[in-house]
Structure 1
Amino acid sequence: MDDPSTRGRYACMLDYRRVLAENLKAARKALDLSQEELALEADIDRTYVSGIERGTRNPSLTMIAKLAERLKTTPAALLTPSGKSPAA
């Protein structure tokens, strides 16, 4: 999707990396966890958590599910833009 020839085609798509970044950070802070604490509990590197929160990493669905479980939420909630609730 970073290919300039496809940008127009996907212009209306949400930036799900940014949505995930914002929601992951908010969920982590709501549980008063540091990036390091979340990383340790999810058995991943702290810099990976940081990359997801900055929107520079593109985690797998399995990783999103793993993080959601630790953050006591759902993958759908982590991928839902602010102000909208995930479909049930």
Structure 2
Amino acid sequence: MDTKKIIGWNIRRLRVAKGLSQERLALEAGIDRSYVGRIERGTENVTVSALETLALVLDVPVADLFSGFDASASRPLPLPSGRKPRVR
């Protein structure tokens, strides 16, 4: 599989596992949300500095973004749409 797709798959998997939207991940990383979307789709040549920042926000080593995955595994489910309920 293409390296860009592996990186995108891992970022999406880690982002969803942490319960972050693309918008929240982009905001915390200081990058554009559409850039995060292109990275996750594997259509963007992501910079090393962006990888470093995304790994920091996701609280994983940069090397984890390059780890292979089972090609037969299904894509991570999207987060529920809409705002999160308020906690009182």
Report the TM-score when normalising by structure 2. Answer: 0.76
What is the one-letter code of the residue matched to 1:43?
A: G
Stretches of structure 1 lacking an aligned partner (at least 5 in a row):
1-13, 84-88
Residues 20-47 of structure 1: CA deviation (Å, up to 9, x unaligned): 0100000000100000000000011100
Superposed, 1:2-41 pairs within 5 Å as 14-41=1-28
Stretches of structure 2 lacking an aligned partner (at least 5 in a row):
71-88
Q: Which residue of 1 aligns with 2:73?
A: none
Whole-Å Cα distance in 1 between the matches of residues 31 and 69 of structure 2? Answer: 26
Q: Which residue of 2 aligns with 1:69?
A: 56
Larger Rg: 1
Q: Which residue of 2 aligns with 1:5?
A: none
Q: Name the structure with the higher helix share.
A: 1
Q: Which residue of 2 aligns with 1:56?
A: 43
Please list every run of at least 4 consecutive aligned residues from structure 1 whose deviation after the TM superposition is greater than 2 angstroms.
none
RMSD: 1.0
The aligned length equals 70
Q: Which residue of 1 aligns with 2:67?
A: 80
